[in-house]
């Protein structure tokens, strides 16, 4: 649930002056600009909440204070005295995250997950317990780290637990969420099946694959599933107090050297403990169990959901790391799946004679994730959006084909709704049932169209199956029992029974039949050790299709509908009482009293910098040392950064041309409250061998001291399938060139703009962007009327296409770039060409924006014009996804490419005979470092040819960090 490292990356990016000053950026906004936040104070927390979330905020305030008290002992340290908690209802995905940087912050999304996804009676309490465990665990600085923290402030190096493996961070929080609430994933049989089925099949993951970065199933679930069970094993074997001792020991260790703490606390190495843990699991779980006669219909693994018979075959939702999530179809007896529509999340499908209705998510206002309904024509295959921003999910079509039943999200609840007028431009949405603190999920029409069976999840009550009379809106509970989850109902075709997934106590789900006769009876239809959910009965009532779990993930299975299953002792009963008032009544009363007077959000209390850091920068010509400081408010509206560096080393000849006493410095500010991000930046920078282009087309030997001021606006447009960004900036710069025999000053003042569009996508198993394009363009108008020394106009264009190759994840990548600078050369741009360095951006105002020419030294050529073509065929070689023990490196994928480059930089006339070309091959490795940070290392050999003869022909080897383009 926590995304500690992801947030840390976002913070660094948002505070980077270079990112703000040089190119359009993706949205860094954290929270939906439509939300208006206020602040509720408690003794140890600041709760930030928005309109329509006041009731949730008061409940969260009480939960937070209770959790603060409860966590004083388990981790052996008093929790921080102040934590910022943001309650943001801006996504349909249940989640949250926590970070100790730059201050202790928890973000909770109050969307309650369906009962089929999480074992909890109170999502707000469970999510906060998990995330606040992160805060208490990570906000620790012992021994040397305490000294670093006192000197430098809240810098990442002062928090050693931030550098633990992902399974250790998430495993501890998942363990605590379960122990402290009595719910959570350690009590969910479906979640435990991830580890237990692997143990039954002798396919348990080694330690190095659950550290972080795994794409194979169980992918991102691995750190949670294995980490929580490992912590449970340690607590059971050595005592729960040893977890606190471990957290203390790791908070004293040098980053990434935490494994030694296990020997100190447990007397065994981490590798020995992991082997003992897995051996104990294998001995505990026994053999796998599945129903005789069951047929596996798909072999995709990962995530599938909600099968529906459609008269031709079976339609279902699927998500795998091989491609974009989709709405898939297979024959009724199984076979190769065909994708009939792409689908960004979503699960259920409503099948009509002419139309298939389904839900999916879309990104709105760059950060909000909202669900809507879509219609797929069975004749044309076209998809039409039915609703916009309605936050509706889980559609099912009435027998007469006129009305959809669905659920609609709102803060703290999910209502049952009817949607009619499906052929109209704007369908009508009417609420059928709405209850406070209640979520409905996966509704299904009865065969006669008079009733709806639906999962109901009330606060403090396990999920139950109810039937709603559509005419009278009466609700009848047909299946409920304490500590038993009942989810994903479907009707038997005769309407006399419902089949649903039922998980008693801590066991996995299996499919049960709920007979609706009076008195009702319950019969178990499947008996899988891995579990079974999302049942569907064929129209003739003879076949049961369901989602079953294997060590590969989820897949579709079928089974002849059991007719002789015995009645079970577990049956419908009275649900647990709905008494969920937190024990800390004083905090509740205080929060409710202060709610009306809660002030509007002010960024000032969290804007001061909380740390400073030493800074070392270098390139091929110099080394600089200095310091940097940055700040950002808790909602991310305001961000600033400042740095200064002094020259420590430079080429001896160049050193004579400048003083090392004058620092390079930069300062930047961004206002990111709305969709446009407003940017201000100023800097000075020193470059060597960076003078204007010579007649020979190479950079002249000069030292350039550049002063820049920038003001601009960046407007991102982020969607699920494409992203766009526009930038408009006013730029003023002065270049002081120092030659051996003279000086030259050039003033530039310009208005410049940029646009970029990306539809190419990268999936879990991708080695490169696939299936799309990335295009960008920039324009810069330097004018004397704005204060420049002269007039000049510069424009660039960069277009990239990523096409399918001869096999899965093979990619043919093609790129063409062009740049031209006209007018006075002293204020125009000099383009640099040559080198193997990455060109990641398609809209870049830098001199090296279009420079990738492998086999030649970096910046070998220069001119006021540049043209470049790159062509690559990329193919995967191996996907080991292996590391070494708990070391922070995982070799994810090895891949190769054959390439051809052709380019030229010129100032006066283009001479095709002077074009530079290279061709060759490179070998690359995708690596995950620090348990979370992915990057690419490439080494290659290129055969070069310079048509102008400036650089001799020959072969050259190179090394690069990052993808080529």
Summarised one tens digit per residue, pLDDT across range 832-875 is 999 999 999 999 999 999 999 999 999 999 999 999 999 999 99
Q: Alpha-carbon torsion 652, 656, 661, 666, what sign?
A: negative
DSSP 598: P
Q: Is the pLDDT of residue 891 over 70?
A: yes
Residues 166/932, Cβ–Cβ less than 8 Å: yes
User: 334-348 burial string, b = 16+ CB within 10 Å, else e?
Assistant: beebeebbebbbbbb
pLDDT for position 72: 86
- The CA-to-CA distance between both ends of the chain, in Å, stands at 32
- DSSP-derived secondary structure for 673-725: SSSSEEEEEEEEEEEES-EEEPTTSSEES-EEEEEEEEEEEEEEEE-SS-EEE
SS3 155: coil
Confidence band, pLDDT 50/70/90 cuts, at residue 691 = low
Q: What is the pLDDT of residue 743?
A: 83
**What gap in Å lies between CA 810 and CA 919, rounded to an integer?**
19
**Average pLDDT of 231-243?**
97
Is residue 578 very low, low, confident or very high in pLDDT (cuts 50, 70, 90)? Answer: very low
Q: Which H, E and C letters describe 362-396, residue by residue?
A: EEECCCEEEEEEEEEECCCCCEEECCCCCCEEEEE
**Interatomic CA distance for residues 342 and 358, integer angstroms:** 11
pLDDT of 168 > 80? The answer is yes
Count of other CB atoms within 10 angstroms of residue 619: 10
Separation of alpha carbons 307 and 547, rounded Å: 8
Asked if 403 and 416 count as a contact pair (C-beta separation under 8 A), the reply is: no
Pick from 288-292, 701-705, 803-807 the range whose average pLDDT is largest: 803-807
Per-residue pLDDT at 573 exceeds 70: no
Alpha-carbon dihedral 345, 346, 350, 355, rounded to 10 degrees: -40
Sign of CA dihedral 693, 698, 701, 704: positive
How sure is the predictor about 76, in pLDDT bands with cuts at 50, 70 and 90? confident
What is the percent of the chain with per-residue pLDDT over 90, rounded to a whole number?
A: 83
Q: How far is CA 74 from CA 68, 177, 180, in A?
A: 11, 12, 10
Nearest to 376 by CA among 422, 441, 345, 323: 422
SS (H, E, C) 612-649: EEEEEEECCCCEEEEEEEEEECCCCCEEEEEEEEEEEE
Contacts of 630 (CB under 8 A, 6+ apart): 15, 102, 609, 639, 640, 641, 642
Question: Residue 735's pLDDT is what?
Answer: 85
- Per-residue pLDDT averaged across 474-488, rounded? 94
Rounded Cα distance between 372 and 395, Å, is 10
Place of tokens 């989810």: 487
Query: Does the pLDDT value for residue 803 go beyond 50?
Result: yes
State phi, psi for 17 to the nearest 5 degrees: -65, -35
* DSSP result, 530-550: S-EEEEEE-TTS-EEEEEEEE
Return the ∠ at Cα 126 (arms to 105 and 190), rounded to 5°: 125
CA distance 176 to 74: 9
Retrieve residue 176's tokens: 């605590």
Q: Which of 668, 698, 662, 780 is nearest to 732 (CA)?
A: 780
What's the pLDDT tens digit per position in 97-147?
A: 999 999 999 999 999 999 999 989 999 999 999 999 999 999 999 999 999
**What number is the average pLDDT over the span 166-186?**
96
Residue 11 has pLDDT above 70, yes or no: no
pLDDT greater than 90 at residue 222: yes
Written in H, E and C, the secondary structure of 422-452 is CCCCCCEEEEEECCCCEEEEEEEECCCCCEE
Residues of the chain with pLDDT > 70: what percent? 93
Distance CA 83, CA 914 (A): 63
- Least Cα distance to 348 among 293, 406, 298 occurs for 406
Q: How far apart are CA 25 and CA 776, in angstroms?
A: 12
Place of tokens 């990548």: 813
Going from the C-alpha of 262 to that of each of 158, 251, 468, 696, the distances in angstroms are: 21, 12, 55, 63
- State both tokens at 239: 């005592």
* Locus of tokens 């001291």: 705
- Cis peptide upstream of residue 519 (ω within 30 degrees of 0): yes
Kindly give the interhelix angle for 270-285 and 189-200, rounded to the nearest 10 degrees: 100
Q: Could you tell me which residues come within 8 angstroms of residue 377 by beta carbon, excluding any fewer than 6 positions away?
A: 354, 355, 383, 384
Instruction: Note the pLDDT of residue 209.
Output: 97
Nearest-10 crossing angle of helices 585-595, 54-70: 150
**DSSP, residue by residue, 854-919:** TTS-TT-EEESEEEEEEEEEEEEEE---EESTT-SEEEEEEEEEEEEEEEEEESS---GGG-EEEE
pLDDT tens per residue across span 255-280:
999 999 999 999 999 999 999 999 99
pLDDT of 583 over the 70 cut: no
pLDDT digits (tens, 9 = 90+) for 442-466: 999 999 999 999 999 999 999 999 9
Rounded Cα–Cα distance for residues 636 and 603 (Å): 9
At residue 844, φ and ψ (nearest 5 deg) are -145, 130
Arithmetic mean of pLDDT over the chain:
92
Could you give the CA distance from residue 453 to residue 606 in angstroms, rounded to a whole number? Answer: 48
Q: Is pLDDT of 622 > 90?
A: no
pLDDT, one tens digit per residue, over 307-366 is: 999 999 999 999 999 999 999 999 998 889 999 999 999 999 999 999 999 999 999 999
CA 630 centroid distance within chain:
24
Cα separations in angstroms, 658 against 627, 647, 662, 708, 762:
21, 10, 9, 18, 45
3-state secondary structure of 594: helix
Can you spell out the DSSP letters for 746-757? EEEEEEEEEEEE
| Listed residue (722, 643, 709, 657) closest to 686, CA to CA | 657
* 547: pLDDT strictly greater than 80: yes
Query: What is the C-alpha radius of gyration for the chain, rounded to an integer number of angstroms?
Result: 30
3-class secondary structure, 258: coil
User: pLDDT tens, 629-680?
Assistant: 999 999 999 999 999 999 888 876 554 556 667 899 999 999 999 989 999 9
The yes-or-no verdict on residue 9 having pLDDT over 90 is no
Comparing 619 with 382, the larger pLDDT belongs to 382
Which of 335, 341, 339, 334 lies closest to 357, judged by CA?
Answer: 341
**Helical (H) or strand (E) element with 98:** strand 95-99
- Residues 33-74: pLDDT tens digits? 999 999 999 999 999 999 999 999 999 999 999 999 999 888
Helix locations, 91-240, DSSP H? 123-138, 144-152, 166-181, 189-200, 222-238
CA distance linking residue 26 with residue 13, whole number of Å: 10
User: Are 298 and 556 spatial neighbours (Cβ–Cβ below 8 Å)?
Assistant: yes
């Amino acid at each position: 649930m926590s995304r500690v490292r992801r947030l840390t990356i976002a913070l660094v990016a948002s505070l980077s002056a270079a990112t703000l000053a040089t190119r359009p950026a993706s949205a860094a906004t954290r929270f939906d600009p439509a939300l208006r936040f206020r602040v509720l104070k408690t003794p140890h927390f600041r709760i930030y909440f928005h309109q329509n979330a006041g009731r949730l905020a008061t409940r969260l305030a009480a939960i937070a204070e209770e959790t603060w008290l409860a966590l004083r002992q388990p981790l052996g340290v008093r929790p921080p005295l102040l934590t910022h908690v943001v309650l943001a209802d801006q996504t349909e995905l249940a989640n949250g995250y926590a970070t100790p940087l730059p201050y202790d912050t928890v973000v909770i999304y109050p969307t309650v997950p369906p009962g089929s996804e999480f074992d909890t009676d109170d999502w707000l309490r469970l999510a906060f317990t998990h995330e606040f465990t992160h805060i208490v665990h990570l906000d620790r600085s012992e021994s040397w780290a305490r000294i670093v923290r006192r000197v430098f402030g809240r810098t990442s190096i002062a928090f050693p637990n931030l550098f633990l493996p992902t399974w250790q961070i998430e495993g501890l929080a998942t363990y605590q969420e379960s122990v402290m609430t009595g719910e959570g994933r350690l009590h969910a049989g479906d979640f435990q099946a991830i580890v237990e089925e692997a143990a039954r099949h002798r396919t348990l993951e080694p330690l190095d694959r659950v550290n972080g970065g795994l794409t194979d199933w169980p992918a991102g679930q691995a750190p949670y599933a294995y980490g929580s069970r490992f912590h449970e094993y340690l607590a059971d074997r050595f005592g729960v107090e040893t977890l606190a001792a471990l957290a203390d020991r790791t908070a004293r260790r040098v980053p990434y050297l935490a494994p030694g703490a296990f020997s100190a606390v447990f007397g065994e190495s981490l590798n020995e403990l992991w082997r003992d843990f897995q051996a104990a699991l294998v001995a505990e779980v026994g053999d796998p169990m599945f129903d005789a006669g069951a047929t596996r219909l798909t072999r995709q693994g990962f995530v599938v959901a909600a099968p529906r018979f459609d008269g031709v075959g079976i339609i279902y939702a699927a998500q795998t790391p091989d491609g974009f999530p989709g709405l898939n179809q297979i024959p009724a007896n199984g076979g190769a799946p065909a994708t009939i529509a792409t689908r960004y999340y979503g699960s259920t499908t409503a099948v009509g004679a002419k139309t298939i209705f389904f839900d999916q998510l879309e990104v709105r206002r760059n950060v909000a994730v909202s669900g809507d309904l879509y219609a797929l024509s069975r004749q044309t295959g076209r998809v039409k959006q039915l609703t916009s921003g309605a936050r509706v999910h889980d559609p099912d079509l009435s027998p007469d084909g006129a009305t959809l039943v669905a659920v609609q999200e709102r803060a703290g609840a999910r209502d049952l709704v009817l949607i009619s007028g499906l052929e109209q431009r704007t369908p009508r949405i009417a609420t059928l049932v709405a209850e406070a603190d209640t979520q409905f999920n996966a509704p299904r029409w009865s065969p006669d169209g008079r009733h709806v069976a639906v999962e109901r999840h009330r606060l403090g009550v396990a999920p139950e199956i109810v039937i709603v009379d559509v005419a009278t809106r009466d609700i009848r509970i047909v299946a409920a029992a304490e500590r038993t989850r009942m989810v994903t109902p479907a009707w038997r075709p005769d309407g006399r029974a419902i089949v649903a997934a039922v998980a008693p106590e801590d066991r996995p789900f299996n499919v049960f039949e709920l007979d609706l006769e009076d008195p009702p009876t319950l019969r178990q239809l499947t008996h899988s050790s891995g579990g079974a959910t999302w049942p569907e009965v064929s129209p003739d009532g003879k076949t049961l299709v369901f989602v079953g779990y294997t060590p590969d993930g989820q897949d579709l299975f079928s089974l002849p509908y059991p007719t002789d299953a015995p009645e079970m002792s577990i049956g419908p009963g009275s649900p647990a009482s709905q008494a969920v008032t937190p024990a800390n009544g004083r905090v509740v009363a205080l929060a409710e009293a202060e709610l009306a007077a809660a002030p509007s959000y002010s960024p000032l209390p969290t804007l001061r910098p909380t740390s400073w850091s030493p800074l070392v920068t270098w390139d091929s010509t110099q080394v600089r040392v200095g310091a940097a400081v940055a700040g950002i408010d808790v909602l991310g509206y305001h961000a600033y950064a400042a740095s200064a560096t002094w020259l420590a080393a430079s080429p001896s000849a160049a050193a004579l041309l400048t003083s090392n006493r004058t620092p390079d410095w930069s300062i930047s500010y961004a206002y990111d409250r709305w969709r446009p991000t407003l940017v201000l930046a100023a800097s000075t920078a020193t470059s060597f061998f960076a003078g204007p282009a010579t007649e020979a087309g190479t950079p002249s030997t000069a030292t350039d001291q550049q002063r820049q001021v920038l003001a601009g606006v960046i407007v991102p447009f982020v969607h699920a399938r494409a992203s766009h960004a526009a930038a408009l900036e006013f730029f003023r710069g002065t270049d002081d060139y120092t030659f051996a025999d003279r000086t030259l000053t050039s003033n530039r003042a310009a208005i410049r703009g940029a646009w970029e569009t990306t539809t190419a996508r990268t999936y879990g198993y991708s080695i490169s962007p696939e299936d799309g394009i990335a295009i960008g363009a920039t324009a810069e108008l330097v004018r004397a009327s704005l204060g420049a020394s002269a007039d000049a106009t510069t424009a660039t264009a960069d277009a990239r296409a990523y096409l399918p190759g001869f096999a899965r994840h093979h990619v043919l990548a093609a790129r063409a770039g062009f740049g031209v600078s006209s007018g006075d050369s002293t204020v125009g741009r000099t383009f640099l060409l040559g080198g193997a360095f990455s060109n990641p951006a398609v809209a870049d105002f830098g001199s090296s924006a279009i420079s990738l020419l492998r086999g030649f030294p970096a910046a070998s050529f220069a001119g006021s014009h540049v043209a470049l073509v790159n062509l690559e065929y990329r193919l995967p070689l191996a996907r080991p996804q292996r590391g070494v023990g708990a070391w922070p490196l995982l070799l994810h994928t090895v891949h190769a490419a054959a390439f051809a480059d052709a380019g030229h930089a010129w100032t006066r006339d283009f001479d095709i005979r002077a074009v530079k070309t290279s061709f060759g091959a490179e070998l690359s490795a995708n690596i995950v470092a620090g348990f979370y940070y992915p990057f690419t290392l490439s080494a290659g050999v290129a055969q070069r040819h310079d048509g102008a003869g400036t650089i001799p022909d020959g072969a050259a080897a190179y090394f690069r960090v990052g993808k080529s383009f």
